[in-house]
Amino acid sequence: MTEPLRWGILATGGIARMFTNDLRRHGFDVRAVGSRSEASAARFADEFEIERVHDSYESLVNDSEVDVVYVATPHPMHAENAVRALEAGKHVLVEKAFTLNEGEARRIADAAEANGRVALEAMWTRYLPHMVRIRELIEAGVLGEVRGLIADHTQLLSEDPLHRLNALELGGGALLDLGIYPISFAWDLFGEPAEITATATFKPTGADAQVSAVFGYEGGRMASTFSASNTQGPNTAVVLGSEARIDIDTVWYSPTTFRVVRADGEVIEEYVSQVDGRGMQYQAAALERCVAEGRLDGGDILPTRESVAIMGTLDRIRTQIGLVYPGE
């Protein structure tokens, strides 16, 4: 039996709190936490009963009692923090979107390969049981020829110009925080798009408020994605096939329900998720399996190099809509 990995949490924001809560309730070994503020790290450690507290990210990644680092900083810091951890001999689980751009993502993948470590993007949706079942249905041919995807991720979020989601220098905007979900789903189903058509609207800060992207693939398949931070939509998804479709209920990217509906309207399967917690523990388990099995490529569900290529798709979208982050 392989010993469970010892996790270190790098940064103490809301997403780190949700992830650590799922780790704790499912028995993972959360050994340390690091923040730029010792007080913040100490509060986080008290909340989750973590024994080792670090007042810097560098100290955390060099902790000899940490095997894997979860990187939960804002997007522009992902590459720097992930590479630092990899060079310190740690595996990394890096929040999505993986980085700001494809070049930074390639740096992480190259550092993982050079140091013999796993680097996995924390696209937790891919590992959820209902998504596993959807892939099984498609693989079994239940939908016939899969021809399309329609998915949105839309939320009515803060308009405060100082909020991280509206700060371009922090990678704020709908694309990286929200659009990554349906875009990664399209990649999961169809791979790299041959054609991309994208349009967007922007906030006064320069951050993207709404992004619509249509992907075309060889053979005529299509995917339509819409993300927005200034309006609340249904947050549903539909996978369309020649013989049936899958209607995924709100919120489609979290544990939810779906139905398989034949072309004549008959419902041939109804799926109800049975997940304890938010469901972020599945991605952690996937990383631990990769380490145990020596799968340094990140495994079959979301290989590291696919995360790099997905960032390339986001770069292509940004070129079309004219979105550039400071420092690029």
For the chain, domain boundaries: 6-124, 129-274
Asked if the 129-274 domain carries CATH number 3.40.1160.10, the reply is no
Residue 16 confidence (pLDDT): 98
- pLDDT tens-place string over residues 123-164: 999 999 999 999 999 999 999 999 999 999 999 999 999 999
- pLDDT tens-place string over residues 207-260: 999 999 999 999 999 999 999 999 999 999 999 999 999 999 999 999 999 999
Fold classification of 6-124 is: Rossmann fold (3.40.50)
- CB burial readout 57-68, b (16+ within 10 A) else e: beebbbbeebbb
Q: How far is CA 183 from the centre of its chain?
A: 10
How many CB atoms are located within 10 Å of the residue 103 CB? 14
Give yes or no for residue 2 having a pLDDT over 80.
no
**Of 51, 49, 71, 47, nearest in space to 61 by CA:** 71
Q: How far is CA 321 from the centre of its chain?
A: 22
- pTM check: above 0.85: yes
Q: What percent of the chain has pLDDT over 70?
A: 99
